[in-house]
A and B are shown apart, each in its own frame.
Chain A
């Protein structure tokens, strides 16, 4: 019995919930037992958003057992095998899911929070640079993969809407996501299929690389 835990994090409006749904559907199509959950109610309006995907792959002739199976939809602290951050700083907010074995797929897209007059005056908003985000994440895990998926999406498809399929394609091609590309693709429609391929074929970025292309 092998469990795989994914945490998707970002800001409401960056497709976090949809990405969670996509990965859960793909995992169940491949015969895994799937669980998950997501933050709802506030994510829509610029708040932090998360989704979790947990799946169990059984070995041959193995059955489920109350004591070893997964029950909760949420990933535990230090329990993420993979984190996909659709917005860079949100990876920091959710760093408690990581351990030294976790892999991180970090999109360099940033959404700076709105500021009040006082904050502008005091220059008190500290939005970290991508380098800093990566450096902090590397204190927890050496496996940080940085991609500019939003840019790629904007360049090729004229919109940010296809960012997440690009990101998934990039992760799949690098073996970070134990699912098959064709399974994911069968769940996508229209231009999202092309976006997945774009990410899958792309050679940008490597482990802990700034992936600035």
Chain B
């Protein structure tokens, strides 16, 4: 049973941070929840999606993008219900236009869970979005544990309603993906299906039209009120100690600091834990700083607290030495080990024996210490103590993107410029295909390919986009490219799911994992409707057909599109297991025909094709029946027809 629907107040359960945020929203009695998936924040929406049918009155959607999710939530809040959104850091940029603009009006009862990603485990940047707060004038909370993840949602709604501003909760991947104990509160019986149109709605429309600087004044006044409020609230707290130096910290860094102090055997240092990192209260900060000989600021990301606290100390006339990013580089995530090592270096205290056997360079590279659980994408993996074989992320066994890549590569023979985009298909940039010359943000591939095609005429310009990415940010670009007839070949990799972020549905989804059909959008028709004159569909599991079609398309001038239509194997496999569908064929490599040319293994690279041993003990390529999903793509890759389909169930 999902922790979201347990009705036993006081019970302690194990939950992920993502689930705790969702549970917090439900305990707060939200009437509207919208999200667009993005690691690390996806779990918040996914856990609600799983159960929302049981939650009477709650409206839930996977919106097309973060801007739409936010606008939806603003509308619902004006409709008189508490509303919540969740998104990853990059999504906040997409929603930023709306958020900057709406503060000219009045919104209350809106909480945004913002997934940050120090260490860049699943993001293109480490961007510290807390810096939006000082000029958006929103309060920002940073919980330190899974329990606080839930509790802070309720506090955020109180703040949002009391001060009539949206409230942001910042949650890094370590919190969202982490698990811990949560004591459950009361779940409402039903959720508000309807609300009363709030007066702010009218006022907002009025103010947006006028755009008066008067609003700016109001926002600053409210910020001042929040500063006063937080000084008297329990969002911030002090772990008492009688040392002559202190630590100020927030979010996950609080727990890391407490563990680090324990590792170092330091028991008496006072620690100020800030639950609200914007706006800060000079009263609480000042009274902590007073009398201390030195204060260390431990935070993930840039020196957001550090800059503000240094400015406050100056204004308060306090001459206490403050150190932050000088010790804790903004690069990468923190961890107890990393905080312990940096504190030991900075304070000149010995490091505990826990680290004794580790090589010195390992200890010194504290980012590696922190990143023990963080494997940044693209294969740059923290160096281990002993060398382990390099592993490059690749497509799943039987993924539809692999044969498409193989077909495109054969068609262009490397002569192309490819603007790729965000999603599983972006792994075509890696070996063995190397397809992808630039990648910006969602929708950026097709966007930039158009401009490029105006100035580069002797090399074919190709743009990739996935179905979810097309719906998120691709459609205006496609319209632009079609309208101005840019000489670009668009390849839409329609695998029917937002696969990369954990298989959320898209408008191209045709069937649920349980086999129910769902209404869906025909992408080829959509493209034609946008004015793309040449649109062809192809089965991705036929690389020879993909190759032929790409060759044909590249001969056509102007804007044209190919849609590869084949479901993500993982989702298809899930459904087949649930419905107990078994393949009637198996694929095998016939030893007599195989010439060990390496094509299927190295150039195509399905991980189910393995180097085994023939009967005489010599090297031989084989298909591992335990791994193969019977997609059949490799059969047409072999120039000697050595890969064949055999009737009969697979032998496992």
CB within 8 Å of B: which residues of A? 11, 13, 24-25, 28, 33-48, 50, 52, 66-79, 89-90, 92-97, 99-100, 111-117, 120, 125-128, 136, 140, 154, 158-160
Q: Which of B373, B384, B392 contacts A39 (CB 8 A)?
A: B373
**Chain A contact residues: helix, strand, loop or mixed:** loop
The reply to whether A25 and B375 form a contact with Cβ atoms under 8 Å apart is no
Q: Does B252 contact A (CB under 8 A)?
A: yes
User: Which chain B residues (315-340) contact chain A, with CB distance < 8 Å?
Assistant: 335-337, 340
**Structural contact, B602 and A120, CB atoms closer than 8 A:** yes
Tell me the minimal C-beta distance from B269 to chain A in angstroms.
10
B144 contact set on A, CB distance < 8 A = 71
Q: Which residues of A contact B610 (CB under 8 A)?
A: 112
Q: Name the residue of chain B whose CB is nearest to the CB of A94.
A: B384
Residue pair A115, B372 in contact (C-beta under 8 Å) = no
Asked whether any CB of chain A lies closer than 8 Å to the CB of B598, the reply is yes
Say yes or no: B256 contacts A71, CB within 8 Å: yes
In the complex, whether B377 has a CB less than 8 A from a CB of chain A is: yes
Q: How far is the CA of A43 from the CA of B252 in the complex (A)?
A: 23
Q: Are B336 and A72 in contact (CB-based, < 8 A)? A: yes
Q: How far is the CA of A102 from the CA of B601 in the complex (A)?
A: 38
Which listed residue, B337, B355, B373, touches A38 by the CB 8 Å rule? B373
On chain A, the residues within 8 Å of B387 by CB distance are 92, 126
B394: CB under 8 A from chain A?
yes
Given contacts A24-B14, A47-B375, A71-B144, contact A116 B432 (CB under 8 A): yes
B390 sits at the interface (CB 8 A): yes
CA distance A83 to B392 in the complex (A): 23
Q: Which listed residue (A47, A76, A96, A154) contacts B384, Cβ 8 A?
A: A96
Contact B626 A78 (CB under 8 A): no
Query: Across the interface, which residues of A come within 8 angstroms of B500, CB to CB?
Result: 41
Q: Evaluate contact between B388 and A93: CB separation under 8 angstroms.
A: yes
Is the beta-carbon distance between A46 and B607 smaller than 8 angstroms? yes
Q: Would A136 and B386 be within 8 Å (CB), given that A34-B181, A35-B178, A47-B375 are in contact?
A: yes
Assuming the contacts A25-B14, A78-B355, A78-B357, asked whether A73 and B385 have C-beta atoms less than 8 A apart, the reply is no
Contact A66–B259 (Cβ < 8 Å): no
Q: Contact at B179–A47, with CB atoms within 8 Å?
A: no
Name the residue in A11, A24, A44 with the highest tally of chain B Cβ atoms < 10 Å from its Cβ: A44
B372 CB contact (under 8 Å) in A44, A71, A96, A127: A96
Q: A67-B267, A140-B357 are in contact. List 20 more A-B contacts (CB 8 A).
A: A11-B391, A28-B13, A34-B14, A34-B181, A42-B377, A42-B393, A46-B393, A47-B393, A48-B391, A69-B258, A71-B259, A72-B252, A72-B255, A76-B259, A76-B335, A76-B337, A89-B389, A92-B387, A114-B602, A120-B601
Q: Which of B357-387 contact A (CB under 8 A)?
A: 357-358, 362-363, 369, 372-375, 377, 379, 381, 384-387
Contact in complex: B357, A113 (CB < 8 Å): no
Question: Closest residue to B39 on the A side, CB-wise?
Answer: A41
Chain B neighbourhood of A69, CB < 8 A: 258
A115 close to B386 (CB less than 8 A)? no
Residue ID in chain B nearest A125 by CB atoms: B389
Nearest CB of A to B275, in Å: 14
Report which of A71, A115, A159 forms a contact with B145, defined as CB distance below 8 A: A71
In the complex, A213→B300 CA distance in Å?
49
Q: Which residue of A lies closest to B596 (CB)?
A: A120
Contact call B373/A71, Cβ cutoff below 8 A: no
Those of B377-425 within 8 Å (CB) of chain A? 377, 379, 381, 384-396, 424
CB of B262 within 8 A of chain A?
yes
* 15 A-B interface contacts by CB (under 8 A): A39-B375, A41-B39, A44-B396, A44-B570, A45-B395, A68-B262, A72-B336, A76-B259, A76-B369, A94-B384, A96-B384, A112-B389, A114-B602, A114-B605, A136-B386
Q: How far is the CA of A119 from the CA of B609 in the complex (A)?
A: 16
The verdict on A126 contacting B393 (CB below 8 Å), with A39-B121, A71-B259 known, is no
Count of interface residues, chain B, beta-carbon cutoff 8 Å: 74
Q: Contacts A11-B391, A120-B598; is A72 near B385 (CB within 8 Å)? A: no
Q: Which B residues are CB-close (under 8 A) to A13? A: 396
Instruction: Tell me whether B358 and A71 are in contact (CB under 8 A).
Output: no
Complex CA–CA separation, A148 to B120 (angstroms): 35
B638 at interface, CB cutoff 8 A: no
Q: Are B121 and A34 in contact, CB atoms less than 8 angstroms apart?
A: no
Q: Are A100 and B14 within 8 A (Cβ)?
A: no
Min CB–CB distance A35 → chain B (angstroms): 5
CA distance A38 to B384 in the complex (A): 18
Q: Which of B175-232 contact A (CB under 8 A)?
A: 177-181
* Smallest beta-carbon distance B577→chain A, Å: 10
Task: Determine the chain B residues whose CB is within 8 A of the CB of A115 once the complex forms.
Answer: 601-602
CB-contacts of B459-504 with A (<8 A):
500
CB-contact partner of B357 in A39, A45, A100, under 8 A: A100
Q: How far is the CB of A39 from chain B (nearest CB, A)?
A: 5
Q: Are A158 and B258 in contact (CB under 8 A)?
A: no
Contact present for A114 and B386 (CB under 8 Å): no
Among A74, A75, A97, A160, chain B packs the most CB atoms within 10 A around the CB of: A74
Q: How far is the CB of B23 from chain A (nearest CB, A)?
A: 16
CA distance A36 to B174 in the complex (A): 9
Q: Which residues of A contact B548 (CB under 8 A)?
A: none
Cross-interface CB contact of B388 among A71, A74, A92, cutoff 8 Å: A92
A39 CA / B389 CA spacing, docked (Å)? 18
Residue contact B611 to A112, C-beta cutoff 8 Å: yes
Across-interface contacts of B381 in A (CB, < 8 A): 48, 93
Chain A neighbourhood of B598, CB < 8 A = 117, 120
Q: How far is the CA of A115 from the CA of B609 in the complex (A)?
A: 11
User: Is the CB–CB distance between B239 and A66 below 8 Å?
Assistant: yes
Alpha-carbon gap, A139 to B402, bound state (A) = 41
Q: Is B254 an interface residue (CB 8 A)?
A: yes
A13 to B394, CA, bound (A): 12
B358 and A50: CB pair below 8 A?
Answer: no
CA distance A184 to B317 in the complex (A): 59
Question: Of A37, A44, A159, which one neighbours B373 at CB under 8 angstroms?
Answer: A37
The docked-state distance in angstroms from the alpha carbon of A35 to that of B607 is 34
Indicate if B585 sits at the interface (CB-CB under 8 A).
no
Which residues of B sit under 8 angstroms from A66, Cβ to Cβ? Answer: 239, 258
Contact in complex: A37, B174 (CB < 8 Å)? yes
Contact yes or no, B181 A77, CB < 8 A: no
User: B220 to chain A: closest CB distance in Å?
Assistant: 36
Q: A42-B393, A46-B394, A96-B385 are in contact. Are A71 and B258 (CB under 8 A)?
A: yes
